[in-house]
């Protein structure tokens, strides 16, 4: 990942993939000498910290040294929400001290952060609040010294997929972390099954419109959902099945 990026992962229900990606992202930040900030639910904190330990990091020590700070995302959200929207000045006040302490302890201006307050807001149906918070993160990152990994429990192939709602979220980030090879495989296989020879032209059209920084699987799914093709729903249903039960290559 390039420096000062604001990336997002739509992990659906695949929390193992999320834990693997986030712990790798944090471990890489640690190796660079960045400070680490984790704003996560206790369950995800547990998974990410275990992932860091499996990558050989001495978690109790780096916490003790102040190089990794952990905040409870739900608790922090509870403190900054006012009238259904995040109070971003309050958030800045609450985080300023934490960020300063981390920078002092590491001696580096760079902080590698993970945040899922936006994901929690999204899951609660608070789309506007999530967008507001994302916009604020982008503004904060403009000053430099912060890179951020966001995560949403959005299922790319899910029944509740809403392109109109998801597009602003994708647009708020500099890159979408890939949901893995399985997603691409499932989509391509489903398109071939449903459309046969017609799959090629549609695939080419969707890929030519490819969004910068968006992983191919996620982009293909977004494009399919939005393209208005008569059989798009059928393709996505089949892809969902293939993602869960990957068949042998045809």
Q: Does 101 contact another protein by CB under 8 A?
A: no
Segment interacting with another protein, rule: CB under 8 A, options 37-45, 142-150, 185-193, 206-214: 37-45
CA atoms 1, 214, 137, 157: torsion sign: negative
Q: Does 1 contact another protein by CB under 8 A?
A: no
**Which burial class, exposed, middle or buried, applies to 16 when counting CB atoms under 10 A from its CB (0-12, 13-18, 19+)?**
exposed
Helix ranges (H only) for the chain are 15-32, 42-54, 59-64, 73-80, 88-106, 117-123, 127-141, 163-171, 181-195, 199-208, 216-226, 232-244
Q: Does 75 contact another protein by CB under 8 A?
A: no
Which residue, 4 or 55, has its beta carbon nearer to another protein? 55
Closest contact distance (angstroms) between CB of 7 and another protein is 22
Q: Which residue among 3, 24, 32, 64 contacts another protein (CB under 8 A)?
A: 64
Q: Does 29 contact another protein by CB under 8 A?
A: no
Q: Which residue among 25, 48, 137, 219 contacts another protein (CB under 8 A)?
A: 48
Calpha distance 189→195 (Å, rounded): 10
Looking up tokens 């050989």 gives 56
Q: What angle do CA 229, 165, 43 make, to 5 degrees?
A: 120
Q: Does 228 contact another protein by CB under 8 A?
A: no
Segment interacting with another protein, rule: CB under 8 A, options 56-64, 75-83, 172-180, 208-216: 56-64
Segment interacting with another protein, rule: CB under 8 A, options 60-68, 136-144, 159-167, 233-241: 60-68
171, 9 contact by CB (below 8 A): no
Which residue, 65 or 162, has its beta carbon nearer to another protein? 65
9, 48 contact by CB (below 8 A): no
Q: Does 114 contact another protein by CB under 8 A?
A: no
Q: Which residue among 46, 75, 181, 209 contacts another protein (CB under 8 A)?
A: 46
Question: What DSSP character marks residue 216?
Answer: H
Q: Which residue among 42, 109, 210, 233 contacts another protein (CB under 8 A)?
A: 42
Q: Which residues sit at the interface with another protein, rule CB under 8 A?
A: 42-43, 45-54, 58-64, 68, 70
């Amino acid at each position: 990942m390039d420096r000062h990026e604001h990336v997002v992962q739509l992990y659906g229900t695949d929390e193992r993939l999320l834990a693997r990606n986030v712990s790798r992202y944090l471990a890489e930040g640690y190796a660079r000498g960045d400070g680490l900030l984790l704003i996560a639910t206790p369950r995800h904190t547990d998974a990410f910290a275990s992932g860091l330990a499996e990558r050989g990091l001495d978690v109790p020590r780096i916490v003790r040294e102040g190089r990794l700070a952990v905040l409870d995302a739900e608790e922090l959200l509870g403190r900054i929400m006012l009238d259904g929207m995040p109070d971003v000045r309050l958030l800045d006040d609450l985080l300023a001290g934490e960020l300063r302490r981390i920078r002092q302890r590491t001696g580096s201006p760079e902080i590698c952060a993970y945040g899922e307050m936006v994901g929690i807001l999204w899951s609660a149906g608070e789309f506007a609040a999530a967008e507001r918070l994302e916009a604020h993160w982008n503004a904060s990152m403009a000053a430099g010294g912060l890179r951020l990994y966001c995560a949403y429990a959005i299922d790319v192939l899910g029944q509740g997929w809403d392109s109109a709602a998801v597009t602003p979220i994708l647009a708020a980030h500099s890159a979408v972390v890939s949901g893995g090879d399985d997603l691409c495989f499932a989509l391509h296989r489903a398109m071939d099954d449903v459309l046969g020879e017609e799959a090629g032209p549609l695939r080419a059209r969707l890929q030519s419109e490819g969004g910068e920084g968006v992983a191919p699987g996620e982009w293909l799914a977004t494009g399919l959902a939005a393209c208005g093709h008569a059989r798009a729903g059928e393709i996505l249903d089949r892809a969902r099945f293939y993602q869960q039960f990957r068949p042998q290559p045809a």
